[in-house]
Amino acid sequence: MGFSKQELENLYSEHAWNEGRLRRSFANKQELYLISDIVKNVEVEGLWFSVSFDQIHQDAYDFEVHVCIELASDKKEFLAWLFKEGNRRPLHKPVRVPVKYGFTAQANQLLTACIGLMYVYNVAGVEYLEYYPEGMKTWR
């Protein structure tokens, strides 16, 4: 699933954005905050990061829920999904976010996906999602 550093550098330059700036763009936006550091071995793990938000159901669930954003293997889209802390497998079919040209366009698309998933959690919770509680068993 991973990408070589050269593949990612090419992707960044082709689309006029970079991972570090994309990650930093989530700071203090709509109650979202980045919880994952830069993936240490992008050649094995791929490009992904996790975003958290206020956990209004935490007392009822006794666990936290986060959003994972991952660059798909074809590098044409990002996938975004809710997951239970400690298990990065999706609790639903991932939302597809196309790779856009330009940093602002990409950041806005990913931010919109995160906010939408945050509201799903806040309004409906996660117990009714298709793959709750274990997550998709055949992920990747």
Reported as a pLDDT band with limits 50, 70 and 90, residue 3 is: confident
Edge-to-edge strand order for the sheet containing 33-34? 33-34, 48-52, 65-71, 77-84, 95-98
Classify strands 48-52 and 77-84 as parallel, antiparallel or unpaired: unpaired
34-56 burial code (b ≥16 CB/10 A, e <16): beeeebeebeeebbbbbbbbebe
Q: Is the pLDDT of residue 41 over 80?
A: no
| Pairwise CA distance, residues 12 & 8, whole Å | 6
The amino acid sitting at 46 is G
- Tally of CB atoms within 10 A around 4: 10
Pick 25 or 51 by higher pLDDT. Answer: 51
83 neighbors 51 (Cβ within 8 angstroms):
no
The SS3 call for residue 73 is coil
pLDDT tens string 91-130: 999 999 999 888 888 888 999 999 999 999 999 999 999 9
Fill in the DSSP letter of residue 77: E
